[in-house]
Amino acid sequence: MLFLALKNLLQEKTRLLISVGGVAFSVLLIMSIQGLYQGWSNKIGEYIRTVPADYWITQTGATDMFHTPSVLPLTVRDFLTGVDGVASAKPFSGRRVAFARNGKDINLYVIADDTENNVGAPARVVEGKAIPDKGEIIIDRVVGRSQDIRIGDTIPVAGRTLKVAGYSEGGYILSFSFAFATKEDAESILQLPGATNFFLVTVKEGTDAGAVAARIEADPAVDAISKDRFVENNTNIVRDTFLPIILVLLFIGIAVGITVIGLTIFTSTIEKAREYGVLKAIGVSNRQLYTVVIEQAITAAVLGYLLGAALALAVSAAAGSYVPEFITEIRWLDAAWILVVTLVMAVVASLLPVRRLSRIDPAEVFRA
């Protein structure tokens, strides 16, 4: 039956191309939007997730890095290291600054790359220097490419001029991005003599982390926020405003894609009514007819899926090159469920007209 199905499919190459093309562009639409949603879901908060800390210690009432200021005296470190269960407490300093370039305001969150305490380094550097020298800064690649800021260019940061020494990844969060300068330059920018913004606390292995946090919060001047909670606090604005829009587009894309796949397979099946009548005339049973129809639908769906998946990967790569903010991540899991949806829709669409095809009178085919 499979040989018969393939022969029937290849009889009219134009019709086959239309069927495969309809499925391919539907898969392209679904996979591209899903990749965009997954990419942004994973990328936002990526840098904060890489920071080595079990708890972020903030000034009381401060919940994130951007909306509620946190300033703590460096002497708080002595208190934290004296708390039972605390393995280490390291200062973490950063400040949100903005500068104008080509008529646009660019927002950076400048972090002190403290090599002495091994705190504040980029998640990963993809081009240029991994560690900035005095008078240098590392910015996120998305900002560099989208704003045409190249390695070697200088940018004004809080009254200072810093040279871009490298590009990092994982620090772009839609309206701003993380940048990294030496501790000396950062202290000049942050203007926090004898103070820092946060302390990064790690808990001793085998210690009850919740109990350690409670002991820290016995000091009314500080709050201890778990790493997961801190990441959530800093990414809520994007998750609550931007991702739902992409999610709605994803649902619309899935609905449109499924509809196109269904109509494409349904139409191609109906248009072969005469061929199916001939098959019945030469003794093909209804069960065998159903098998041929389903095999043709699955073949067209698989070919369309493979083409659509290849196009989705190519489009995502090309779009990311020309539009750096177009951040996508196409996972094997997503590719698998899109394949399943494609096959299910193709089979369902092919079975819808089967009942009509099973009632074809072979004599009418020959009279026609």
Report the C-alpha gap between 296 and 177 in whole angstroms: 50
Report the C-alpha gap between 360 and 274 in whole angstroms: 9
pLDDT tens-place string over residues 218-272: 999 999 999 999 988 888 767 777 778 888 888 888 888 878 877 777 776 666 6
- The domain ranges of the chain are 2-44+241-367, 47-230
Give the pLDDT of residue 297: 79
Residue 330 has pLDDT above 90, yes or no: no
pLDDT tens-place string over residues 128-148: 998 999 999 999 988 888 888
CB 172 within 8 A of CB 143: yes
- Tokens standing for 59? 């000034």
Orientation angle between helical segments 273-281 and 2-11, nearest 10 degrees: 140
Prediction pTM value? 0.74
Amino acid of residue 92? F
Give the pLDDT of residue 296: 77
pLDDT tens-place string over residues 62-82: 988 887 889 999 999 999 999
Find residue 91's DSSP bridge partners.
Answer: 199
What 8-state DSSP symbol labels residue 200? E
Ramachandran region, residue 258 (left: φ > 0; alpha: ψ -120 to 50; beta: rest): alpha
Give the pLDDT of residue 173: 78
How much of the chain, in percent, has pLDDT values that exceed 90?
30
Question: CB under 8 Å to 20, separation ≥6 — which residues?
Answer: 300, 303, 304, 307
CB 152 within 8 A of CB 114: no
